[in-house]
Amino acid sequence: MNTDSLQSVRFESILERFEQRDRTHYMAVPDEVAQQFTRPKPVRIMCLLNDSIEFHCALRPKGDGSFFISIGTPIRQQGKLQLGDRLQVVIWKDDSQYGRKMPEELTELLAIDEEGNRLFHALTPNQQRGIIYYVDGAKTPQVRIDRAIMMIDRLKINPSPA
């Protein structure tokens, strides 16, 4: 990771869980940090946890004026993180095109499928990230290829997914 050329902010947080909502694991972002990145809607950022786990995420409003970052199961498993763990955090603005790492297999498919490329880029950023997340979640290149083809074929059948 190279945050030298980007505005990065370092802080500490604790791994918590929403009990009344959907039991999502999260870490609170201090107000003075959140104010540097917030806009009227959730902000896409990059996050580095404990100097070892880097991931794309969103700075999300809690609803009470404060902000948080969701910490999903794969990240918790990778970092062996438990509820109540103290986290060392660095965040910076995500300047990537899609707010996620684009899998090579999907990039290649979109390069050769003009209609699929047009339909994919007509989606909302959140819908694009959903497809990218699904394709990239496969462990092998062949399964990523199969998933990319399946998702683009679905767009051709139903060009405006909800």
| Cβ-based burial of 26 (10 A; exposed 0-12, middle 13-18, buried ≥19) | buried
Along the 162 residues of the chain, how does pLDDT read in single tens digits?
Answer: 333 444 899 999 999 999 877 789 999 999 999 988 886 666 789 999 999 999 999 999 888 889 999 999 989 999 999 999 999 999 999 988 888 889 999 999 999 999 999 999 999 988 999 999 999 989 999 999 999 999 999 999 987 654
CA distance 46 to 95: 9
CA distances from 36 to 63, 91, 154 (A): 18, 11, 39
Give the contacts of 17 (CB within 8 A, at least 6 positions apart).
Answer: 23, 24, 25, 26, 83
Q: Which residue spans of the chain are classified as CATH 2.40.30.100?
A: 9-93
Give the contacts of 36 (CB within 8 A, at least 6 positions apart).
Answer: 7, 9
Domain 9-93: CATH superfamily, name plus number: AF2212/PG0164-like (2.40.30.100)
